[in-house]
Amino acid sequence: MKYKFEIICMLLIVGLFVLTQVVGNQFYFFIGFVILQYMVMATAWNILGGYGGYVNFGSAGFLATGAYTAVALINFLDIGLVEQMIAGGIMAGALGLATGYLTLRLRGVYFAIATLALAIILETVVAHWDYVGGAAGTSILPKRKPELFGELIVDRKAGIFANYKEYLFFLMGTVAIISVWVARYIENSKLGRGLNAIKDSEEAAECMGVPTLRLKLIATTISGAMMGVAGAPLASYLTFIDPLSAFNLEYAINAIAMPMIGGTISWAGPVIGALLLGTAQQVSSLWIQSELNLLIVGVVLVVFVIIAPEGIIGWFRKSRQGSGR
């Protein structure tokens, strides 16, 4: 079956929709949204980091770019979620391109530091931008009765979705599935092979004629854009946004930890990482305080980086080699 993967994706999207109609408790969608958002972040990060070897420490910066673009547009134009996400993606993608252009001609470590610097500069700028609330933040009440082609999208009785949480969940889930498809496509394409060559040895790749700068820029742009799309719904999800939430440390650490723990070799790694780590964090946040949560993530990351560099996927591959004799 040639398009097996694509068909599974479609089925999953339908499945997500069914879930929103069937499950009643909003809290599930609340945490489901977070996990799916992380899946997009992890996948996006992995395109540049896992495939290409360039570490992005400032994932929160791209996410927040998406979120604040959405907020600015809500204040300015009062447009719907899908438009916000597209706009967020464009802005964050542009940001990725700019960052890349400034620093990708240097060593990988400088790119990493630059991404960190970028996140903090953005946070400072946003904190001074009163139109979107400045350091104090601002509350968002999502559009009361949004419509699409005349059909009410969100309404307790008559809408496609009963409430905003379900709508956000579905949207984010669709974006997640699309992102994974994109990652898989890249992985198997010339871009992906080029990125891998860069990761192994950038000098060798250059000698072989791989257009390293161009490929890196493409990867950074796509990665950034994805993170922006994931970030745009954040304001509607939290119904409140401030620099502290948008630029939060947990996005930065999870965007790295999830792919590294899941496995950076393929698109499946970030998915596994997000599902496992994300669910674990959400569940444990019901019992233990969130810092302990994050601490565990940090420890697991360090442990995995030391003893299981290939992540969980590597664990599988090793077994395949071991038992297949």
Partner 1 sequence: MAIFIDLLLNALVIGILLGGFYAALSIGLSITFGLLDVVNIAHPTMLVLGAFIAFLLNSTWGIDPILAGIISTPFFFILGWLIYQVYYNVFEKSGAESLRGLAFFFGLLFIIEVGLIIQFGVDHRLVEAPYIGQSWNIIVGQEIDVAIPFRLLVAFVVAAIATLAIHAYLTKTFFGRAVRAVAQDMMALRLMGVDPIRVKRIAFALGVATAGIGGALMIIVLPIEPSLGRLYLGNVFAIVVLGGLGSISGTLLAAVIIGIAESIVATFFGPSWAPAVSFGILLAVLAFRPEGLFGKTAGAH
Partner 2 sequence: MTRILTNRVRVWLLAGLFAASVVLSGSFATTAQAQNKDPIKVGFSMALSGALAGGGQQSLVAIQLWAEDMNKKGGLLGRQVELVFYDDQTNPKNVPGIYSKLLDVDKVDLIVSGYGTNLIAPAMPIAIDREMVFMGLFGMNANAKWEYENYFSILPAGPDPAVGFSEVWFQAVEEKFKPKTIAFIAADAEFAQNLKEGAVRNAEAMGMEIVYEQNYNPKTADFTPILRAANAKKPDAIYIASYPNGSAGLVRALAEVGTDAKAVGGGMVGLQFAGLMAGLGPMLNGIANYDFFVPEPTMNLYPGASDLIDRYQAKVKAENLKVDALGYYLVPWAYANLDILGQAVEAVGSLDQEAIGKYIRDNEFTSVVGKIKFGKNGEWERPRTLVVQYQGIKNNDLQQFATPGTRKILLPADISTGDLQEFNALRK
Q: At what angle do helices 108-127 and 59-76 cross, to 10 degrees?
A: 30
The Cβ of residue 176 has, within 10 Å, a number of other Cβ atoms equal to 27
In angstroms, rounded to a whole number, what is the distance separating the alpha carbons of residues 77 and 65? 17
315 binds, among partner 1, partner 2, none (CB under 5 to 8 A by kind): partner 2
25 binds, among partner 2, partner 1, none (CB under 5 to 8 A by kind): partner 2
Task: For the CB of residue 196, give the shortest distance to partner 1 in the complex, in Å.
Answer: 11
CA distance 4 to 255: 28
Beta bridge partners of 147: 152
Q: From the CB of 249, what's the least distance to partner 1, in Å?
A: 7
Which stretches within 131-211 are classed as H helix?
A: 164-187, 190-200, 202-207
131 binds, among partner 2, partner 1, none (CB under 5 to 8 A by kind): none
Q: Answer whether 64's CB lies under 8 Å from 246's CB.
A: yes
Judge whether 36 and 165 are in contact, CB under 8 Å.
no
Q: Which does 125 bind (CB under 5 to 8 A by kind): partner 2, partner 1, none?
A: partner 1
Nearer to partner 1, 143 or 317 (CB): 317
User: Site residues (CB under 8 A) for partner 2?
Assistant: 25-28, 30-31, 124, 127-128, 134-137, 139-142, 163-164, 237-240, 242, 244-245, 248, 272, 275-276, 279-280, 282-283, 286, 289-290, 312, 315-316, 318-320, 322-323
Quick check: 49 and 56 in contact, CB under 8 A? Answer: yes
Q: Which residue has the tokens 């394409």?
A: 189
Chain-centroid distance of CA 53 in Å reads 17
- Binding residues for partner 1 (CB under 8 A): 49, 53, 55, 57, 102-103, 105-110, 112-114, 116-118, 120-121, 124-125, 127-128, 135, 199, 202-203, 249, 253, 256-257, 260, 264, 289, 291-292, 294-295, 297-299, 301-302, 305-306, 309
Rounded Cα distance, 316 and 226, in Å: 28
- CB nearer to partner 2: give 206 or 250: 250
Least CB distance to partner 2 at residue 259 (A): 16
What, of partner 2, partner 1, none, does residue 106 touch, CB below 5 to 8 Å by kind? partner 1
